[in-house]
């Protein structure tokens, strides 16, 4: 009886922990999505390009600098510019 009570309590605690982690991950994803959207808008406005082209620029910059796309997007949102790596 005590074992069942403890296992149930443990299962409920793990479920609550997983839900908290999931909520935090979703919040981070939403924040990253906003940053990427802002950066895309800046690039679209400055360079008169499409959404796909703006996202491609961010993606290429991310890949060539080995930084997360969300970090590149945050830089663009903060500075209004995108430093593109030199492609060889």
**pTM exceeding 0.85:** no
% of the chain exceeding 90 in pLDDT:
56
Over residues 55-72, the pLDDT tens digits come to 999 999 999 999 999 999
For residue 61, the surrounding DSSP H or E stretch is: helix 51-65
Extents of the domains making up the chain? 2-79
Over residues 13-68, the pLDDT tens digits come to 667 666 777 777 777 778 888 999 999 999 999 999 999 999 999 999 999 999 99
CATH class of 2-79: mainly alpha
What distance in Å separates the CA atoms of residue 42 and residue 11, rounded to the nearest whole number?
Answer: 47
How many residues are given for the chain? 88
């Amino acid at each position: 009886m005590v074992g069942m009570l403890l296992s149930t309590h443990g299962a409920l605690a793990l479920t609550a922990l997983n839900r908290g982690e999931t909520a935090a991950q979703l919040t981070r994803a939403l924040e990253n999505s906003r940053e990427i959207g802002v950066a895309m808008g800046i690039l679209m406005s400055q360079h008169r390009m499409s959404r796909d082209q703006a996202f491609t620029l961010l993606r290429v910059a991310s890949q060539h600098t080995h930084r997360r796309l969300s970090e590149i997007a945050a830089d663009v949102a903060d500075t209004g510019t995108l430093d593109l790596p030199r492609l060889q």
